[in-house]
Amino acid sequence: MSVLQVLHYPDERLRTIAKPVEKVDAEIQSIIDDMFETMYAEEGIGLAATQVDIHRRIIVIDVSENRDQRLVLINPELMNEVGAIGIEEGCLSVPEQRAFVPRFEQVKIKALDYHGQPFELEADDLLAICIQHEMDHLVGKLFIDYLSPLKRQRIRQKVEKIDRLRAKDK
């Protein structure tokens, strides 16, 4: 397993629409393993393959305190949503920035698991929010797209400054 590089906004590759996974095989499972390692190394709770420049419909999530409840979503599809909720969200691709985003309180999805087996899942609260956030990545959408153009521009400037400072430190 290896830690992959997470793309940062405003990298245009984050806007790529992910393609469905045709077959879950050892290569896809290796990508998933690397994605979990990357997510844990970056201290995230979710990661879409698009964020690591792999444009396939793959999401990994672990919202547990002990970091021991891995959830894999391959080719996820939203089947139903209920209610409205919103919290301040952050994103590994938009480092050190947070903003309030409206989301559904509960979602029902269908997807394939790590072994390619179909399943359905009903989620609420943080897990529901995380699923929606990561599914946005699969269609080239970032949480900042829900914000005003002025707020997006401010965040872009902050992220570019953070990336410049990190590059200096290397």
Amino acid at 115: H
| Under 8 Å between Cβ of 131 and 106 | no
Q: Which of 12, 22, 134, 160 is catalytic?
A: 134
Is the Cα torsion angle 82, 120, 137, 41 positive or negative in sign?
Answer: positive
Would you say 130 is a known binding-site residue? no
Would you say 8 is a known binding-site residue? no
Let me know if 65 is a catalytic residue. no
Q: Which residues are catalytic?
A: 134
Annotated binding site: 91, 133, 137
Could you tell me which residues are annotated as the binding site for Fe cation?
Answer: 91, 133, 137
